[in-house]
Structure 1
């Protein structure tokens, strides 16, 4: 491996580790503010998508008027959603956490049901597959019945993982030598 490439890889690992550690620490130690910042990023993306969709209405390649009307309506929906997010960032952050908790709960529940359905087709040890399916179903149901608490727990867990990964990357950055 060339020396320049090695230096670039090492710097990338260090930068990634630093960013991961900082973002993870912000999520763990300032969960409300970091969730509001994440909601603000979603709001900014909604406004940007709405503006770009609105600008696409004026392209000559769109011949159908119904397509133009659809783009205008969708643009307005994106713009209004983005503005609503910025109107009350705390409510937007709670809504974001609720959506994450609910969608994760639905995913785990469906995954557990599929695992139970495939349990008879497994030829190996069925005990671990059964336990995995049971944990997925119970975890999914608990998130669906309490999406706010589950979402907050997932948000904190995500922050902890980012911090741990970031710290390991920083250690890797420091210990990497030519």
Structure 2
């Protein structure tokens, strides 16, 4: 085996391993979401809270220790850092409420985006190759957006469930790809 083909085989093996590990992690995450939706959402909220505290410490550190920033910039960084730290701590103090708030926020945000997407689709009717499908898409998008807007937590729970299913399906596909990647047609 030549050096070039050994390097190629090593690269293929690395990619196959990455695909397989990614697929297995995706399946595990999907199963956790479906089996324990509330607890897995709380874990995600906790991760975001940890990020907020870490980001707060970085911003505060930039404000305190920077020798190149002006006074207002330093005060702004310190204030932002303190705000991030407070939000992170509050999320940990009542993780359940923070998880519910995050679900509602995401539900409302996605609802607004879907409504806007439907309206934008309607605005492209003049250029649409298929007016019927464009109108159908716009109506479904607006209805789904309104549902999420007025039922944010329920909508977020449904999206969370769909995410879990998607992670399992995509993870299985990724695992299959890991076994077949780099094989030549016979």
Q: For 1:3 and 1:174, locate their aligned partners in 2 and report how far apart those are by CA, in whole Å.
A: 14
Q: Which among 139, 142, 156 is matched to residue 144 of structure 2?
A: 139
**Structure 2 residue 89 is the aligned partner of structure 1 residue 83:** yes
The alpha carbon displacement at 1:174 in A equals: 3.4
Determine the structure 1 residue equivalent to 2:66. 59
Q: For 2:31 and 2:155, locate their aligned partners in 1 and report how far apart those are by CA, in whole Å.
A: 19
**Structure 2 residue 164 is the aligned partner of structure 1 residue 159:** yes
Determine the structure 2 residue equivalent to 1:119. 125
Q: Which among 25, 29, 33 is matched to residue 23 of structure 1?
A: 29
Q: Is the deviation greater in 33-42 or in 168-177?
A: 168-177
Determine the structure 1 residue equivalent to 2:79. 73
Q: For 2:76 and 2:174, locate their aligned partners in 1 and report how far apart those are by CA, in whole Å.
A: 46
- 2:12–2:182 Cα contact (<8 Å) kept: no
Gaps of 5+ in 1: none
The alpha carbon displacement at 1:125 in A equals: 1.9
The alpha carbon displacement at 1:18 in A equals: 0.6
Where has structure 1 moved over 4 Å in runs of 4 or more?
Answer: 175-178
TM-score by length of 1: 0.94
Determine the structure 2 residue equivalent to 1:170. 175
SS at match of 1:61: coil
The alpha carbon displacement at 1:89 in A equals: 1.1
Q: Which among 22, 36, 39 is matched to residue 42 of structure 2?
A: 36
TM-score by length of 2: 0.91
